Each structure stands twice: as C-alpha cells, then as structure tokens.
C-alpha cells in the first residue's frame, strides 16, 4: 500500500436514501465503481446554488393579488356590486408582477 498513487482515504457517512440516490446516479452515469464515481463527482461535478430571493418576492406579490381578488369576490358575493376601484387594484397588482417578472428575466438573460 505504500506505493499507491492515492494514499489518502476519505470516509463519508450517508443515509440509506442517500445511498440509493448515489447508486441510481452512478448507474445512470455508467460508473462501475463507487470510488471512481465519487472521486469524479468531487473533482469535476458541479454545485449549483440558486438565489431565489427574486422569486420569493414575486410569490409575495402574487399572494397579495390573490388575497385582494378573494376579498373582492367575497364583497361582490355579499353586495352584488363590483367597484371600479377593485379593477384598478387588480390591474395595479398585475402590473407590479409583470414588472418584477421582466426585471427577473433581464437579470437571468445575462447569465
């Protein structure tokens, strides 16, 4: 063992579900040994980190519109009146969502 090219051993514990996923991915990649697969992924694999803060902001805007539409629907069902101001509120909310979507798409276009 003293003449081995790879003389440092790493030990990693995984759950049964993680082991199943590793085996599945290893099979899909056509790897024949777990050591070579893990080494290849550790050296050449990608770690993707997504910043979802813009999407969370967009979801908050959509929740606000949804809440407003629900409140308007309740009021219309009770009073049988639909007010012009309600239409304006919905339009304003939808325009805010579209602005946010366009900003997000412009940001992602450069990636």
Exposure string for 75-88, b = 16+ CB within 10 A, e = fewer: eeeeeeeeeeebee
The per-residue pLDDT for 1 is 56
Cα dist. 30→62, 65, 68, 109 in Å? 43, 48, 52, 34
The per-residue pLDDT for 110 is 67
Q: Tens digit of pLDDT for each residue in 5-43?
A: 888 899 999 999 999 999 999 999 888 899 999 999 999
Q: Domain segments of the chain: what residues?
A: 1-48, 53-109
Confidence band (pLDDT; 50, 70, 90) for 52?
A: confident
The answer to pTM > 0.75 is no
Q: Tens digit of pLDDT for each residue in 79-110?
A: 988 888 888 988 988 998 899 888 888 887 76
33 phi-psi bin (left φ>0, alpha ψ -120 to 50, beta other): beta
């Amino acid at each position: 063992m003293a003449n081995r090219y790879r003389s440092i051993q790493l030990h990693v514990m995984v759950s049964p579900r993680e082991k199943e996923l590793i085996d599945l991915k290893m099979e899909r990649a056509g790897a024949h040994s777990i050591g070579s697969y893990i080494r290849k992924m550790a050296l050449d694999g990608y770690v993707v980190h997504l910043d979802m803060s813009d999407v969370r902001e967009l979801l908050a805007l959509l929740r606000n519109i949804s809440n407003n539409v629900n409140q308007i629907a309740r009021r219309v069902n009770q009073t049988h009146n639909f007010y012009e101001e309600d239409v304006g509120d919905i339009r304003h909310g939808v325009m805010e969502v579209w602005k946010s979507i366009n900003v997000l798409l412009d940001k992602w276009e450069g990636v």
